[in-house]
């Protein structure tokens, strides 16, 4: 697993409203586009220097496509990045259905099996 690559994806998509909207609508299509364009860049604004060795594993791809934040957390994606991107995607819908902080409560509930355990490492 490349925690760096997964975290780079989460950070970049969460910080770009257009990428975030595309990820919400069709995660697989956005991931393919991101890998082909952004993911290979060695810097955020550097389209000249690229790499060819970074790729998502099958488990990472599945978790990212299905928005499986529990699996992402468990494989070591940074917990703050998983929380903020999925708040950006789901918060409005959850608020409309169940009130303020309802997505955050669900997120905490689905990760409650980690209480009193060490977090998965986010080290590269």
Any bridge partners for residue 41, and if so which?
A: 50
Q: Say if residue 48's pLDDT is above 90.
A: no
67 neighbors 56 (Cβ within 8 angstroms):
no
Annotate 36-50 with b (16+ C-beta within 10 A) or e (fewer): eebbbbeeeeeeeee
- The pLDDT of residue 119 is 72
Beta strands (DSSP E) in 1-124 are 41-43, 46-50
Taking a C-beta distance cutoff of 8 angstroms, is the pair 6, 72 a contact?
yes
Q: Which two tokens stand for residue 99?
A: 């009130």
Average pLDDT for 79-101:
89
When mean pLDDT is compared over 2-11, 14-23, 95-104, the highest value belongs to 14-23
Neighbours of 15 (CB within 10 A): 13
Of 44 and 75, the structure prediction assigns the larger pLDDT to 75
Burial (CB count <10 Å: 0-12, 13-18, 19+), residue 25: exposed
């Amino acid at each position: 697993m490349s925690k760096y690559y997964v975290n780079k994806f989460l950070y970049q998509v969460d910080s770009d409203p257009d990428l975030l909207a595309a990820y919400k609508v069709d995660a697989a299509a956005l991931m393919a586009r991101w890998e082909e364009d952004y993911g290979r860049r060695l810097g955020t604004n550097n389209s000249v220097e690229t790499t060819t060795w970074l790729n998502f594993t099958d488990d990472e791809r599945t978790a990212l496509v299905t928005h499986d934040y529990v699996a992402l957390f468990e494989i070591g994606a940074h917990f703050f990045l998983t929380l903020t991107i999925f708040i950006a995607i789901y918060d409005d819908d959850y608020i409309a259905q169940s009130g303020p902080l309802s997505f955050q409560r669900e997120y905490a509930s689905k990760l409650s099996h980690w209480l009193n355990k060490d977090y998965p490492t986010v080290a590269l």
